[in-house]
Chains A and B, each alone.
Chain A
Amino acid sequence: MNAILTILIGSIFVNNFAMSRFYGICPFLGVSKKLETAFGMGMAVTFVMAVASLVAYLVNAFLLIPLGLEYLQTIAFILVIAVLVQIVEMAIKKMSPGLYQALGVYLPLITTNCAVLGVAQLNVTEGYNLILSVVNGVASALGYTLSICLFAGIRERLALNNMPKWMEGFTGAMITAGLMAVAFNGFSGLI
C-alpha cells in the first residue's frame, strides 16, 4: 500500500512525465491549444499506458526473462505498444464512433509517443511487479494529463491577451512550458 502511494505521488508530481522527465513533448506542445482536445489526449494516453504497462510486464516476465532475452525489451515493447494502439483504435471505432471521431488523430500519435515506451522501460528498471507496473502506468499518465491540461489552460488565456510581438504564439508557449517545469521542480525531494 505504501509502495502504491509512493508511486502515485512520485509519478504524478515529483517525476511528472512531461515536466520532469520531458517525455511526450511532441503531443504536449501540439495538442495543447484547446483544453478539450488536451484532455481527450490525456485520457487516451492514460488508457494506452495502463494496458501497455500490463502487457509489457507480462511479455517481459513470462517470455523475455525466462529465455534470457532482456536485450530485446525495447523492440518487444514497441511491438506490444503498436499492436495495442491498433486494437484500441479498432475497438473504439466499432463501439463508440463518436469517441473515435473525437480522438481519431491522436490514437496513432500515441504509438510514436516516447512516454508510453518510457513507462514500460521504467517499470523494468525499477523492478516493479505486475500491480505496481500498472499503477505506475496509470499514475504517470495522470501526471501527463495534469500537465498537458494545465498547459492548455494557460495557452488558451495567452492566445486572448495582448502579448508583445516577439512573444506571440509558439514562443510564449515554450517559455511557459519552461516556467512550468521550473515550478514542478518544487516537488523534488518530496518522496
Chain B
Amino acid sequence: MSMSAILIAALVMSVLGLLFGALLGVTGRVFKVPVNEKAEALRECLPGANCGACGFPGCDGYAAAVADGKAEVGACAVGGPACAAKMGEIMGVSVSASVRMVASVACQGYGDHCKPKADYQGMTDCVAASLVNNGTKACQYACLGLGTCERACPFDAIHIDPIKQIAVVDEEKCQACKKCVAACPQHVLSMRPAGRVVNVGCHNPEKGIALKEKCDRACIGCEACVKACNFGAIEMENGVPKIDYEKCVGCMACADACPTGAMEADFETRKEAYIDPSKCVGCTMCARQCKFDAIEGALKQPHKVLGACTGCGLCAAKCPKKAITMRDRRAPRNKLDKVKKAPAAASKPAAPAAAKPAAPVAPKATTENK
C-alpha cells in the first residue's frame, strides 16, 4: 500500500471526525438545556426509589419540580421527615411534621370466613381473577390473595400470608407510595395512619344479616360501632364504618361491639390503666373522665380501675398527680366489671347487661387467641 493511500485514508477519517465533532459542538450549543443546580442538590437528598408516590415521574422529576418552585418539599413519603428537612434547608423553607401513613387491608375473608365460589384455574393475578364472574370468592369485594399487590410493591412491604391467603402489610417497611392501592382491582387497600390498633376489616357496602352467608366477618351495616364509640370517631360511609383517626384513642370499644368481627382490633395490645394508690389523692377527676365507668372510688379515697377499662388513656392524661400509668393487661377486658349506677339514673341499666352471662367475655378470649 502506497504512503499516499494511507495518508489519504487517515486524512479523510480525520476530516470526517473533525466535521462531525464540530457538528456535535454546534448542535450541543443549539440544543442546550439549562441545568438547575438546586435540582441537582435536591436530587441528592431524595432516596432514589423512583416510586412515583409524590406524583412526579421519579425522583428526578420531583427534584426538578421543587427546584422550579412547582412542588412542596414534604411530598416524598419514602424520604420522610428527614428528607423533607434537608430539602427545606436547600430551598430555604421550614418543614412541619406530618403523620406517617401505611397501607391497610379491608378484608378478613381468610380461612373459613369467606369461601371460594369455585376452583379458580387461571393466571395467578388478582386483576385476571376479578374479571371472572365478580371475583373468585363468595364476597365480590374480597381480597383474592393472588399477589398483584405484592408484585406492585417496590419495598417488599406487602405479602400474601401463606396460610391466610390474603394480603398482609408490613407497617415497618411500608413507605406509603400507594402503588398497592392502585394495583388492587378489588379496592381492598387504603391508607391510614401507622401504628393504630383498630382497623375496619371489611368494605362490602351491602347491608343485612344475609351478608353473613358470603362471609361471616362481613360488615352488615348495623352501626353498633358508631353507637359504641364514646369519642365520635366513627361515621358510616358507603355502608361501612370510617374511622377518624384523629379522634380515635384506640379503646377498641367498637370492636367489642361489632357482632361479626368486621372491626379488626389488636386485642392483645390492649392496655389497662393502673392507679398507684400511694399517689392517688381521690380527686375523682379520672372517674369523671372515664367513658366506660371503669374507675371507682369515693372522694378523697384512693381510686381503683375496674375490669371494664379499655385502656383508652384519657384518665392517665388528666390525672393531676400523675398517678395513673397504662400497663399490659392481666386479664381480658370484662365489660360488666364497671361502676354500678343507680337503676333510675342509668342509661345503660345493669339488668339487661347481666342477662348476657359469660358470653361477652368468652368470645373476646377466643378472638385474642386468633
Chain A residues with a Cβ under 8 A of chain B: 59, 63-64, 67-69, 72, 75-76, 79-80, 83, 86-87, 90-91, 93-95, 97, 101, 157, 160-162
Contact = CB atoms under 8 A, between A and B. Distances in A.
A72 B9 contact: yes
Given A59-B16, A79-B20, A160 B124 contact: yes
Q: Which secondary structure dominates chain B's binding surface? A: helix
20 contacts: A59-B16, A63-B16, A64-B12, A67-B12, A76-B16, A80-B20, A87-B23, A90-B27, A90-B31, A93-B31, A94-B32, A94-B33, A95-B31, A97-B33, A101-B58, A101-B61, A160-B123, A160-B124, A160-B125, A161-B124
Interface string B283-301: 0000000000000000000
B12 A83 contact: no
A94 B12 contact: no
Nearest to A75: B13
A67 B33 contact: no
A80 B9 CA distance: 16
A59 B23 CA distance: 15
A63 B8 CA distance: 12
A101 B62 CA distance: 13
A83 B13 contact: no
A154 to B, nearest CB: 14
Contact of B20 (A68, A83, A101): A83
Interface string B27-50: 110011100000000000000000
A91 B28 CA distance: 9
Given A87-B23, A162-B124, A93 B61 contact: no
B223 interface: no
B31 A86 contact: no
A105 to B, nearest CB: 12
Interface in B2-17: 5, 8-9, 12-13, 16-17
Contact of B12 (A72, A80, A157, A160): A72
A160 B127 CA distance: 11
A91 B12 contact: no
Contact of B13 (A76, A86, A95): A76
Contacts of B31: 90-91, 93-95
Contacts of B17: 79
A72 B13 contact: yes
A22 to B, nearest CB: 30
Contacts of B27: 87, 90-91
A90 B124 CA distance: 43
Interface residues of B, number: 23
A63 B33 contact: no
Nearest to B146: A160
B122 to A, nearest CB: 9
Given A83-B23, A101-B57, A160-B124, A69 B33 contact: no
Contacts of B58: 101
A87 B29 CA distance: 11
B182 interface: no
Contacts of B60: 101
B32 A69 contact: no
A59 B33 CA distance: 30
Contacts of A160: 123-125, 128
Contacts of B13: 72, 75-76, 79
B93 interface: no
A83 B17 CA distance: 9
B362 interface: no
Nearest to B23: A83
A69 B57 CA distance: 48
A161 B123 CA distance: 5
A162 B120 CA distance: 13
Contacts of A162: 124
A133 B145 CA distance: 54
Given A72-B12, A83-B20, A161-B124, 14 more contacts: A63-B16, A64-B12, A68-B5, A79-B13, A79-B16, A83-B24, A90-B27, A91-B31, A94-B32, A94-B33, A95-B31, A101-B60, A160-B124, A161-B123
